[in-house]
Chain A
Amino acid sequence: MPPIYTLHDLQQSYNGRRVLAIDRLDIGRGEVLALVGPSGSGKSTLLRLLNFLEQPSGGALTFDGEPVTPRLALAQRRRVTTVFQRPALLHRSVAANIGYGQTLRGIKPDNDELAAWLDRLGLSHLARQSAPKLSAGEAQRVALARALILRPDVLLLDEPSANLDPYNIGLIERLVAEAHSETGMTVVWVTHDIFQARRVAGRVAFLLEGRLVEVADAAKFFTAPATPQAAAFLRGELVYS
């Protein structure tokens, strides 16, 4: 099956400073890819490019066999969605936040579907509550539901459980795993937590200073990394390219 994303010589620079330069990366349809690397390695930048939120400075990005162009960007963007580290909920009710993406598409949120999601998240009693009043864990669960209810082809996760307690981390991992197995969506998961990457991913891409140093199956990456930088990263050492 052809990959859903193909990145070829993809580059991103801000104010003349190059922050990302990926020679080649294919992301398979339906896979769970963990993006790992130290802070500032370009993981979040790559996610923004994969969600078509930014124009790359150079190189080629194809999505589902089509080159990403500004003309197609909205249609392509609506097949992909990101859950960020900060939930960025709107000043509306919990239910309105979960249905927000559907509203943007002109779809009236289905009350039964909303109720099912709220139940799944353990938030049924908070449906009418103002979203900014939720706890961090509750807010991130709402952010995840807001993305998953859209049934995107690709779910991008930018450290969604970075500041959460073990219960919420487990819940988020379980919800993503269930959605992945139900819909076959592609998941690209940025995480600092190598144990989480090991739990959730089938494949791991290791970024360092904007460059892709190693891409490997998760089992191989965690047991026998091919590069000294990846090995040092897994040992918790400070890594340079």
Chain B
Amino acid sequence: METILDALQEALGLLTGFDPALMEVVGMTLRVTGGALLLATLIGLPLGAALGLRDRVPAGGCVMPIIYTGMGLPPVVVGLFVYLMLSNQGPLGRLGWLFKPPAMIVAQVIIALPLIVGLTLTSLRSIDPTVKLQVRSLGATRAQTAWTLIREARLGVLAAIIAAFGGIISEVGAVMLVGGNIEGQTRVLTTAIVLETRRGNFALALALGILLMGLAFGANYLFHRLSDE
């Protein structure tokens, strides 16, 4: 208990002192997770909408289980897959992305994408079918119908983005494997927490943990305010 209290005190000191090493890790986390979330949203939203707006998902018997399985992908397996693809012997080794932020972004996109596609698709399919009929009955074109239904499902779409954000900002397995946790280059909050805990630097680890939770809370608070509006 004493250790925890000491660590908390030290953590507060680091946080209020804007420790440069700490801020660097936070910056990298925001760049990697933000970039991955943006990419996954840009790909996942239209894909989820295209599938969710159809009366039947094409090859739904196959596609839906694949998407749902993807929603629970173990990050470490994604990391391993991306590692193999980007390693020197891998098919994409020429890109030279391994142990660099782009590799971490790719891994996090793979983790976030099924969540965004699956939850967007589900939220669109859960809209009362009468709404779709009503919108068409009022004279909507195909595109107007799609846009109206996406607007109607906006809470579900927002939930999809929140779930994806939560999934990738807190994962450690994939970014550790493909980023390598290199100081000043690929160290993010989760990998730094693992490292500092192993080193016995509990105060720093705790400070990083508080920051991670703060970031997650801040982002979710923002999403919540948006959904309220």
Q: Footprint of B on A, CB under 8 Å?
A: 48, 51, 53, 74, 77-78, 80-82, 84, 86, 88, 90-91, 100-101, 104-105, 143, 146-147, 150, 156
- Of the candidates B131, B144, B154, the one whose C-beta lies within 8 Å of that of A88 is B131
A101 and B140 CA atoms in complex are apart in Å by 8
**Pair A147/B138 contact, Cβ less than 8 Å:** yes
Beta-carbon nearest neighbor of A79 in chain B:
B139
A78 to chain B, nearest CB (A): 4
CB within 8 Å for A101 and B138 given contacts A48-B133, A91-B152: yes
28 pairs from A and B in contact (CB 8 Å cutoff): A48-B133, A51-B137, A53-B136, A74-B141, A77-B137, A78-B139, A80-B137, A81-B138, A81-B139, A82-B133, A82-B137, A84-B133, A86-B130, A88-B131, A88-B134, A90-B131, A90-B135, A90-B152, A91-B151, A91-B152, A101-B138, A104-B138, A104-B140, A104-B141, A104-B144, A105-B139, A150-B139, A156-B137
**Pair A53/B137 contact, Cβ less than 8 Å:** yes
Beta-carbon nearest neighbor of A75 in chain B:
B139
A77 and B151 CA atoms in complex are apart in Å by 23
A88 and B135 CA atoms in complex are apart in Å by 9
A48 and B133 CA atoms in complex are apart in Å by 9
Interface membership of B19, Cβ < 8 A: no
Beta-carbon nearest neighbor of B142 in chain A:
A74
Where chain B touches its partner, the secondary structure class is helix
A100 and B147 CA atoms in complex are apart in Å by 13
Count of interface residues, chain B, beta-carbon cutoff 8 Å? 17
Which residues of the other chain, A, contact B154 by a CB distance below 8 angstroms? Answer: 91
A68 to chain B, nearest CB (A): 14
A156 and B154 CA atoms in complex are apart in Å by 30
| Minimum-distance CB pairs A-B, first 6 | A88-B134, A78-B139, A101-B138, A82-B137, A88-B130, A88-B131
Interface membership of B2, Cβ < 8 A: no
Which residues of the other chain, B, contact A84 by a CB distance below 8 angstroms? Answer: 130, 133-134, 137
A117 to chain B, nearest CB (A): 15
Which residues of the other chain, B, contact A78 by a CB distance below 8 angstroms? Answer: 139
A72 to chain B, nearest CB (A): 13
**Pair B152/A101 contact, Cβ less than 8 Å:** no
Which residues of the other chain, A, contact B137 by a CB distance below 8 angstroms? Answer: 51, 53, 77, 80-82, 84, 156
Known contacts A51-B137, A91-B154; 9 additional CB pairs below 8 A are A48-B133, A53-B133, A53-B136, A74-B141, A81-B137, A82-B134, A86-B130, A104-B139, A104-B144
Beta-carbon nearest neighbor of A44 in chain B:
B133
Which residues of the other chain, B, contact A143 by a CB distance below 8 angstroms? Answer: 134
Which residues of the other chain, A, contact B141 by a CB distance below 8 angstroms? Answer: 74, 104
Interface membership of B148, Cβ < 8 A: yes
Which residues of the other chain, B, contact A90 by a CB distance below 8 angstroms? Answer: 131, 135, 148, 151-152
**Pair B139/A74 contact, Cβ less than 8 Å:** yes
- Of the candidates B130, B138, B144, B151, the one whose C-beta lies within 8 Å of that of A150 is B138
**Pair B128/A146 contact, Cβ less than 8 Å:** no
A150 and B134 CA atoms in complex are apart in Å by 14
Beta-carbon nearest neighbor of B153 in chain A:
A91
Beta-carbon nearest neighbor of B133 in chain A:
A53
Within 8 A of A (CB), among B110-157: 128, 130-131, 133-141, 144, 148, 151-152, 154
Beta-carbon nearest neighbor of A88 in chain B:
B134
> Which of A74, A143, A156 has the largest number of chain B CB atoms within 10 A?
A74
> Which of A90, A105, A156 has the largest number of chain B CB atoms within 10 A?
A90
Which residues of the other chain, A, contact B131 by a CB distance below 8 angstroms? Answer: 88, 90
Which residues of the other chain, A, contact B128 by a CB distance below 8 angstroms? Answer: 86, 88
A91 and B149 CA atoms in complex are apart in Å by 10
B154 to chain A, nearest CB (A): 8
Which residues of the other chain, B, contact A105 by a CB distance below 8 angstroms? Answer: 139
Which residues of the other chain, B, contact A74 by a CB distance below 8 angstroms? Answer: 139, 141
**Pair B133/A100 contact, Cβ less than 8 Å:** no
Which residues of the other chain, B, contact A77 by a CB distance below 8 angstroms? Answer: 136-137, 139
